[in-house]
Chain A
Amino acid sequence: NAGVMQNPRHLVRRRGQEARLRCSPMKGHSHVYWYRQLPEEGLKFMVYLQKENIIDESGMPKERFSAEFPKEGPSILRIQQVVRGDSAAYFCASSPGTEFYEQYFGPGTRLTVT
């Protein structure tokens, strides 16, 4: 059973470009969470999705950031018009349910904005 997959592992973008980060949850998991980790800081919740639905996006910046989890294919975190402050590690986690289920993390995508 493959773990949570994320790609790319490293992404370099110039200011103003778009960044697309992908996450394939573990087999059988229909709950996906995205987190951002800035240097020397803990993980910050961004968004929680189930298939075709955004359940909680209270941690997402209001502008430039969006997320989706289509019926087929991976979950996508999209950042438009990136700025230097978007440079961070973005982790995806999946779980088979909510509340009393642990989340399994992917290896993360390290985004660098130049």
Chain B
Amino acid sequence: EDKVVQSPLSLVVHEGDTVTLNCSYEVTNFRSLLWYKQEKKAPTFLFMLTSSGIEKKSGRLSSILDKKELFSILNITATQTGDSAIYLCAVRAGGFKTIFGAGTRLFVKA
């Protein structure tokens, strides 16, 4: 069965810290891996990764995919309280289905 596993499930850090969120997957016919940020509403898109070893970067956030070891990481540097959210990892497999992990709940303390 296709699955996406995220770790840690929750994380509390102080402003200014750097965090690394993990996502591992086992799916049939991998197509792409996506990261979303979810606050108290709809998930908002962060990154889509399709190729191994190519880092995607947006401001203080970056992400990379390892298709050999079947995982991805999401890094956030110099965290701010506004980064507090649930970070969701999702894998597109077989064209139609998108499998989401349970999410990592990040809380950044001032």
Listed in ascending order, the chain A residues whose CB lies under 8 Å from chain B are: 4, 33, 35, 41-45, 48, 55-56, 58-59, 91, 98-100, 102-108
Contact = CB atoms under 8 A, between A and B. Distances in A.
Contacts of A45: 97-100
A59 B4 CA distance: 16
A95 to B, nearest CB: 10
B100 to A, nearest CB: 4
Contact of A42 (B31, B45, B100): B100
A106 B42 contact: yes
In terms of DSSP, what is the predominant structure of the interface of chain B? strand
A98 B95 contact: yes
Given A104-B45, A105-B43, A107-B42, A44 B100 contact: yes
24 contacts: A4-B42, A41-B102, A42-B4, A42-B88, A42-B100, A42-B101, A43-B88, A43-B90, A45-B99, A55-B96, A56-B97, A91-B42, A99-B95, A100-B48, A100-B50, A100-B92, A102-B45, A102-B48, A105-B36, A105-B42, A105-B44, A107-B41, A107-B42, A108-B42
